[in-house]
Amino acid sequence: MEIEYKGILGKIFNQPFTTISLYLYYIIAITLLLTPTSIAQEQSEVFLKGAAVTDIAEEEGFLWVSTYGQGIYRYSIADGKWTNFSTKSGNLSDDLFYAVEVSKNFVWAASVEGLFTLTKKGNRWDKRKFAQGGEFGNWIRSLKYDEKQNVLWIGRFRNITRFDLKTRKYEDIDRTQGTDQKSNTIKAIELDGDSLIWFGTESGVHIYNKKKKHTDPTAWRYFTNKNKAFKEEGKTVSVSKILFEGRNIWFGTDEFITAEEPDFNLGGVYIHDRKINWDRIYKRDGLGGNGIYSLCRIGNYIWVGVYEFDKQKKLEYGKGLYIINRITRQVLPVDLNELNISSSSILSFYFDGTYVWIGTGEGLVKLRIDNRLAVWPKK
């Protein structure tokens, strides 16, 4: 007898046995036959209705959420209590944030007005503005804390900033390549194992080898959509997200096209095997749009938040949530109504091993995707 799974787990489990062992499949099938209510049925809960959730970070016992319009939220996992930091609450001087990052003693939030830091011990926010970078030098869109080196990396519209928490020293790093200013406009930062850090820009990717000093030119590499990278597609490539899985690197890229330049930023998800091979998944393969807001890996699947750029109105429109089988590369659309998601803009993800937290343009959704027979690995 063939078992049909429904809902979001149905989109995952009704796949070839390359994604789930035959033995586990039969266990689940038998259990479903004996269970009145399917254990595969998803469970979702909605928080922060109306908030555009741009980023999600976790520390022990708490979840931190940045929003564009409602400041920063802290969620206590133990008692389900939310604490808001915003101009409305009177404990923060800004409400528009792009990213949030956490360490043992601090919380950092990225805004267009600079870097906000919460010192946990004193429960006080401070703002730092940067002198270098000109008019947009204080527009921060990405943050990444390297716990092993005790360093916060700050991705600004102009420059990368390295903050050494031990010495309390900020250092600006200008990575402009020739006359290409967009090569120094940082959108994404991700740690790759113990030695590499990747920086996505509006025209390519920087790779920094942590085993060398950041002032050493040989510690850095840079590539664009030339010389076979990104399949040499489009006039340029703007990297919005970076995700590592196995031997592969997944790049979410921006779509930005106009009537005058229809191939400027083509968008899509690019997959690189760290050697010479590149693949691209985009609208033709089943995605609802070519612009990529967010990426998240859960088991054998990559969750993708997509958007479409209207070249006439020059506006972005959210196009929902899609799941890509990382082995077969099959694209599966998700019915947002099943998850109680009211916005088609899927801006951020965080997977804690049991729940995937989905940041949307109109709230935060907590989705339980495991059950007692099928537990996803966190990485």
CA distance 343 to 349: 14
Q: What is the pLDDT of residue 51?
A: 97
Per-residue model confidence as pLDDT tens digits over 227-236: 999 999 999 9
CA distance 299 to 378: 7
Which residues on neighbouring strands pair with residue 53, listed in sequence order?
67
DSSP 129: -
Q: What is the pLDDT of residue 81?
A: 97
Exposed (0-12), middle (13-18) or buried (19+): which is 4, by Cβ within 10 Å? exposed
Per-residue model confidence as pLDDT tens digits over 36-92: 333 233 578 999 999 999 999 999 999 999 999 999 999 999 999 999 999 999 999
Q: What is the pLDDT of residue 370?
A: 60
Residue 309 pLDDT greater than 70, yes or no: yes
Residue 10 pLDDT greater than 90, yes or no: no
Residue 95 pLDDT greater than 80, yes or no: yes
Higher pLDDT, 230 or 17: 230
Tokens of 202: 């509006």
Separation in Å, CA 111 to CA 123, 241, 242, 356, 365: 19, 18, 21, 25, 23
Parallel, antiparallel or unpaired: strands 278-281 and 291-298: unpaired
Judge contact between 363 and 50, C-beta under 8 A: yes
In this prediction, residue 28 has a pLDDT band, given cuts at 50, 70 and 90, of very low
Closest CA to 332 of 365, 302, 377, 370: 302
DSSP 27: H
Residue 271 pLDDT greater than 60, yes or no: yes
Judge contact between 186 and 141, C-beta under 8 A: yes
Per-residue model confidence as pLDDT tens digits over 99-145: 999 999 999 999 999 999 999 998 999 999 998 888 889 999 999 99
Average pLDDT, the chain: 88
CA distance 342 to 363: 8
Closest CA to 301 of 245, 375, 373: 245
Higher pLDDT, 86 or 24: 86
Residue 308 pLDDT greater than 70, yes or no: yes
Residue 362's H or E segment, with its range, is none
Amino acid at 91: N
Per-residue model confidence as pLDDT tens digits over 131-183: 888 888 999 999 999 999 999 999 999 999 999 999 999 999 999 999 999 99
